[in-house]
């Protein structure tokens, strides 16, 4: 079993009686790539550019500016942890047998909405 991507998503909903905000942090990795990003209310506030080895703050100049001091270094550390977790997951799942459950019966369904008097395509899974 090959596992190409391990992705952790963390969303935090916080608020007061007046305003609610959605905070999102995404950290993910594979053998060849990685992702580390933070967003607030659906807008990307910071991400790690691992090719340029820097943190990027894609915010408009006239808006309130967010800053993540030490963010890139943390992202690099998170990638190392993520890749170690990916390696451990591969080791742990290596001996799991592939689940081969045969269908209990034949399944037939239509490809599109059935129209009377028209040619309809049926899909059959055996």
For the chain, domain boundaries: 20-100
Distance, CA of 66 to CA of 51 (rounded, Å): 22
Pure H helices in the chain: 71-93
Q: How far is CA 48 from CA 24, 32, 45, 67, 91, in A?
A: 15, 15, 11, 13, 28
SS3 114: coil
- Copy the structure tokens of residue 65: 């500016």
Is the pTM above the cut of 0.95? no
Q: According to CATH, what is the number of the domain 20-100? A: 3.10.320.10
pLDDT digits over 78-113, tens only? 999 999 998 888 888 886 667 777 767 777 777 788
Q: What are the residue ranges in the chain where pLDDT is below 70?
A: 1-19, 63, 95-97, 103, 125-126
Q: 33 Cβ partners below 8 Å, 6+ apart?
A: 50
122: which strand partners?
A: 110
């Amino acid at each position: 079993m090959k596992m190409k991507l391990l992705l952790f998503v963390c969303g935090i909903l916080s608020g007061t009686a007046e305003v609610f905000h959605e905070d999102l942090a995404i950290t993910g990795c594979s053998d060849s790539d990685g992702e580390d990003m933070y967003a607030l209310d659906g807008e990307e506030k910071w991400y790690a550019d691992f090719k340029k080895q820097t943190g990027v703050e894609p915010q408009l100049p006239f808006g309130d500016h967010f800053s993540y001091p030490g963010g890139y270094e943390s992202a690099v550390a998170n990638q190392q942890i993520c890749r170690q977790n990916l390696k451990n997951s591969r080791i742990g799942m290596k001996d799991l047998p592939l689940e081969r459950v045969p269908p209990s019966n034949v399944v037939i369904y239509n490809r599109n909405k059935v129209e009377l008097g028209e040619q309809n395509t049926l899909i059959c899974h055996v």
